[in-house]
Amino acid sequence: LEKLKGIFPAFYACYDDVGEISENRTKELCNYLYNKGVKGLYVGGSSGECIYQNLEERKATLKYVAESLRGKCTLIAHVGAPSTRESVILAEYANELGYDVLSAIPPIYFKLPESSIYKYWTEIMNSTDLPFIIYNIPQTTGYSLSLQLLKKLLENKKVIGIKNSSMPVMDIERFKAVEENLIVFNGPDEQYVSGRLIGADGGIGGTYAVMPELFLMAEEFVSTGNFNDARRIQRDINDIIIALCSLNGSMYSAIKEVLKLRGINIGSVRGPLEPVTGEDLNKINEIKQMIDQ
Ligand code: NAY
């Protein structure tokens, strides 16, 4: 399980200039992050704009990432989709491609009982032999993982971890209290250091890929017990996240513009996410400098 401990950027959707999935750009981003030294990637999640892509597009991204990095670092495939049927198709495909681990959000749109959520995750798990990471992100799905459902899910040995994006860091501690060996990933990037101190084994985050150096440094400081420096890096990270979120357009668009200045062009975002425009585009360079310092 060592291969699951550390920094896992949530991989971004990589589009060409007309907004189609780009093989070249996907592979470029893979190499960029691999060369920075990340532990692995979380592919096709929120930051991958999975919610705005059809099945074929999601499969294409899974394939290009596997072709670039399979066997070189740990690849986690997010396969959550509106229907169980599509989620299972993605799970089986990720398995064929050689992904190491599967993960999924709970069902979205309809508010379903825990029995349905249990069944949904279980059917995904039953479709392959791969281990599974629960994705808990109440602020977007409306469902917050209960300890009761977690205990029930843990009867299945395929459940090896949780990607926890809920805001209370205490949730990480409570999940660990249920099962110490469970791998828990910190979700909110603004709380990486606190998440680690309360028990997270590493993190999966939407802003890691635009500033991998900073998260790798924060992790280094935490794991060597250098907490003052860890806190200092967390402050820098939070200044940058707040700046990324302060522009018109979506955070992911701001991130993609910064990446362009860093030499990585992965296109823009898909509607309804809005691109950064006008005056605010001029602020991108300042954000890049905050990262480079
Ligand atoms: C994913 O699946 O792409 C993620 O890991 C995204 C997790 C992000 N949470 C949300 C609500 O989007 O990393 C966080 C988030 O981007 C970060 O904390 C900045 O707010």
| pLDDT one-digit tens code per residue, 269-293 | 999 999 999 999 999 999 999 999 8
Integer Cα distance of 100 and 97 in angstroms:
9
Q: What pairs with residue 203 in β-bridges?
A: 7, 186
Question: Which protein residue's CA is at the shortest distance from atom 15 of ligand 1?
Answer: 206
Question: Which protein residue's CA is at the shortest distance from atom 5 of ligand 1?
Answer: 205
* The pLDDT value given to residue 220: 98
* The pLDDT value given to residue 178: 98
Residue from 38, 136, 137, 253 whose mutation best tests the ligand 1 pocket (most atoms within 8 A of CB)? 137
**Taking the model in full, what pTM does it have?**
0.98
* The pLDDT value given to residue 268: 97
Q: How far is the CA of 233 from the centre of ligand 1 (A)?
A: 18
For the chain, the residue count is 293
Strand-by-strand arrangement of the 40-43 sheet: 7-9, 202-205, 183-186, 159-164, 132-136, 101-104, 74-78, 40-43
* The pLDDT value given to residue 18: 97
In this prediction, the residues of the chain whose per-residue pLDDT falls under 50 are: none
Q: How far is the CA of 46 from the centre of ligand 1 (A)?
A: 7
Catalytic positions: 135, 163
Kindly state if the Cβ of 139 falls inside 6 Å of ligand 1.
Answer: yes
Kindly state if the Cβ of 10 falls inside 6 Å of ligand 1.
Answer: yes
* The pLDDT value given to residue 167: 97
* The pLDDT value given to residue 1: 81
> Closest ligand 1 atom to the C-alpha of 191?
18
* The pLDDT value given to residue 158: 98
Q: How far is the CA of 116 from the centre of ligand 1 (A)?
A: 25
